[in-house]
Amino acid sequence: MKPLDGVKVITLEHAIAAPFCTRQLADLGARVIKVERPGVGDFARAYDERVNGLASHFVWCNRSKESLSLDLKAPQAEAILDGLLRDADVLVQNLAPGAAARLGLSFEALHDRYPKLIVCNISGYGSDGPYRDKKAYDLLIQSESGFLSITGAAESPAKAGCSIADIAAGMYAYTNILSALLQRAKTGLGREIDVSMLESMVEWMSYPLYYAYDGASPPPRAGAAHATIYPYGPFPAGDGKTVMLGLQNEREWAVFCSKVLLDPELAIESRFSSNSKRVAAREALRDIICAAFSELSSEEVIRRLDAAQIANARMNSMEDVWTHEQLKARGRWTTVGTPTGDVPALLPPGIAHVEAMQLGAVPALGQHTEALLLELGYMPEMIRDLRNAAVV
């Protein structure tokens, strides 16, 4: 038995935040029915063609789902949605601001008819406030939340390389839905969940916010290095490769000086005798570390760091991650089906083996439309008429 066996989720979703949330639910065994626009579908299907002709974002976020093509604005759509929601546990949507309410799919409109239904709305800025109707995409929320102001090099900000605002909102939606399911088991009633991408990212920004509390200066942009702890970041070795290392306390600083740099006196030099002083003198300290590392290969540096029990990492490429020996040793890769063939997939963190999860294929657009309509009691000729009218 999987944790969410028997849970039915209807999702009106596109892009990343909601699809990433509902994929987590599907991984745990929920039946997830994805409602998509006929002929077009989730617009993330067209982002790129990097995975055997399919979009990388879409393959990542949409396995184990059933795809129903349906024009939500067609008069016939209301009866189909009613049939889907009648025994559903969760409705998830991240349509354009106000769109779900205009379709009669707000929590207020649904609660009397479906009192056990949990309704999760994911939006850029939330269901009220002056920004309620403002469009929001991942990069825009990275900017609005202050993330860009502390990320990148001193001379220019940089976005995160993946959709962290979408991921943050998706994960808060996921955990709130799990909490709502537990709460419903006690009360018998569903509830509304309102997840904002902005609020999700600002929660993740709480360390730099507190660092800049009461008018204090914010963390400076420091590239791939830590802004407020030093040495903590990338350093070149003599073979041209980069080693990441991180020191967290004064004991580690002393060990680093004696066992890695082979200069124990450096640990007590007044310029570097506390983290705050090392941060202030980071350029001078960086020159010392780079000079020491220039005599060593990256593997030699890593061996010294490991022997001294100083945290370190290689700066891996995407190719390196696909072949990472730790992931391989722990059996973290499996495969998932797609309309164009099987592709590798990472087992979700916390799931011990593939048998503990649901791992269905990534669906083609509208792949399950006929089966779902038959399940709702539609006859083949009725389905044909709906297709001819471009409703499904």
- CA neighbor of 121 nearest in space, from 112, 139, 130, 108: 108
Whole-number CA gyration radius for the chain: 25
Place of tokens 């297709």: 387
Q: Where do the DSSP E strands lie in the chain?
A: 8-12, 31-36, 65-69, 90-93, 118-123, 152-153, 156-157, 192-196, 232-236, 242-246, 311-314, 333-336, 343-346
Q: Identify the active-site residue in 112, 166, 194, 239.
A: 166
Residue 321 belongs to what H/E stretch? helix 318-322
Q: Which residues contact 185 (CB under 8 A, 6 or more apart)?
A: none
112 catalytic? Reply is no
Torsion 343-344-345-347 (CA) sign: positive
Contact 198, 168 (CB under 8 A): no
- CA neighbor of 285 nearest in space, from 230, 245, 238: 230
Cα-based angle 163, 169, 171 (whole degrees, multiple of 5) = 95
What would the two tokens of residue 91 be? 């409705």
The neighbour count for residue 160, using CB atoms within 10 Å, is: 15
Q: Which residues are catalytic?
A: 166
